[in-house]
């Protein structure tokens, strides 16, 4: 599994643009918890806070596939993109 970070999220990943978990994650929520443990509180606040993010699993948004409870597999490609404020 490969997680790719886009845009402003890299400010919270020490500039890293990708991450490959060493453990098996069953859902997107479990993966995000692992990423939050690895990158720290500022990452967690950005991902789950007011900014919020768009999550793609194999190029598909998760809104209709279970949201954070979307099942993920070892070979999946996860993209995390920040929402853009056009205001």
Rounded Cα–Cα distance for residues 18 and 2 (Å): 7
What pTM did the predictor assign? 0.89
Q: Where are the domains of the chain?
A: 2-82
Kindly list the averaged pLDDT for each block of 10 residues, start to end, along the chain of length 87.
94 95 88 94 87 88 91 94 66
How many helices, marked H, and strands, marked E, lie in the chain?
2, 5
> Is 85 strand, coil or helix?
coil
Q: Which pLDDT value is given to residue 86?
A: 43
**Residue 2, strand partner residues:** 77
Residue 51: C-alpha distances to residues 7, 9, 23, 76 (Å):
12, 10, 27, 25
Q: Which pLDDT score is estimated for 51?
A: 59
pLDDT of residue 10: 94
Secondary structure of residue 44 in the 3-state scheme: helix
The topology under which CATH files domain 2-82 is Ubiquitin-like (UB roll) (3.10.20)
């Amino acid at each position: 599994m490969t997680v790719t970070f886009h845009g402003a999220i890299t400010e919270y990943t020490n500039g890293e643009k990708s991450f490959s978990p060493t453990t098996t994650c069953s859902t997107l929520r479990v993966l995000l918890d692992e990423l939050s443990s690895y990158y720290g509180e500022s990452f967690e606040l950005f991902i789950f806070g007011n900014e919020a993010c768009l999550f793609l699993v194999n190029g598909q948004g998760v809104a209709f596939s279970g949201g954070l409870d979307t099942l993920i597999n070892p070979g999946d490609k996860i993209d995390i993109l920040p929402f853009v404020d056009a205001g």
